[in-house]
Chains A and B, each alone.
Chain A
Amino acid sequence: MNKRRPYVRPMDGWWRRNPFFIEYMVHEGTALFVAAYAGILLNGLLHLSRGEAAWNVWLDGLKNPWYIGFHLLALVAISYHTYTWFKIMPRTMPPVIVGGKRLADGAITGGGLAVAAAASLVLLAAVWGMAR
């Protein structure tokens, strides 16, 4: 047996003891949904490259209740990612000086969320326009 047994402070569940870190872990965790969604799209793209029959298999697969459930969860998770992405933006981008004053955090977050909302509506309109 090894004679040296240095004390290692247990760190299990460290983030569950502080609401700040719970929020941190949740917003980092949204990456799992981003990755899974990208994987689903990549799978769809591969099916698309193999022709109509393969594409329809993938498209029909999306109707599976498990996929619908996953996409509902992903919608919540990625929407939360949108919110936190712009919420921490005042700290992740260089300070913006307007009229000699630093742009307020709320203006950056609010502006970002407004741009995201506008971009989403433009995307929906574009898809609608192309599908018609």
Chain B
Amino acid sequence: MKRTLKRSNAPIFWALFGAGGMLSALLGPMLVLITGIAVPLGLLLPADTMSYANMLAFSQNLIGKGFIFAVIALFLWHAAHRIFHSLHDVGIHAGTGAKLICYGGAMLGTLIAAYALLAIGF
């Protein structure tokens, strides 16, 4: 028997999936309502809610930065994991290539978000 069992990387992806699933379940609908419907249509919230000055200040605040990063990165990891595991169900072989595209996409999005948040500064 092999002395050192190879450790699976599945728990990492599953944890990211779970965290993103929980965050999107708790705040997803309200976020979509605010950024995608209320603000563009000028309903419910003050007209300058997502003005440049407001959003810049929010993204320069440490808590705001963390929130933006968590929402974008965890939503992406949640979706990537779920889409990857649904590929087989729609008749697409979920091999290494598919894994690279799904998780690689989430990783790329995470890095771009981190880069943009650092570029915005503190």
Contact at B116–A31, with CB atoms within 8 Å? no
Q: Interface digits, A101-127 against B, CB 8 Å rule (1 contact, 0 not)?
A: 000000000001001100110011001
Shortest Cβ distance from A36 into chain B, in angstroms?
A: 8
Chain A interface mostly helix, strand, loop or mixed?
helix
| A residues less than 8 Å from B25 (CB atoms) | 81-82, 85-86, 112, 116
Distance, CA A85 to CA B23, complexed state (A): 11
| A residues less than 8 Å from B62 (CB atoms) | none
Q: Using a Cβ–Cβ cut-off of 8 Å, how many residues does chain B contribute to the interface with A?
A: 52
Partner of A68, one of B36, B45, B112: B36
| A residues less than 8 Å from B117 (CB atoms) | 45, 49
| B residues less than 8 Å from A38 (CB atoms) | 71-72, 75-76, 79, 109
Contact at B37–A34, with CB atoms within 8 Å? no
Shortest Cβ distance from B118 into chain A, in angstroms?
A: 9
Q: Using a Cβ–Cβ cut-off of 8 Å, how many residues does chain A contribute to the interface with B?
A: 52
Closest A-chain residue to B69, C-beta based?
A45
| A residues less than 8 Å from B93 (CB atoms) | none
Residues of A within 8 A of B (CB): 11-12, 15, 25, 28-29, 31-32, 34-35, 37-42, 44-46, 48-49, 52, 55-56, 59, 62-63, 67-68, 70-72, 74-75, 78-79, 81-82, 85-86, 112, 115-116, 119-120, 123-124, 127-128, 130-132
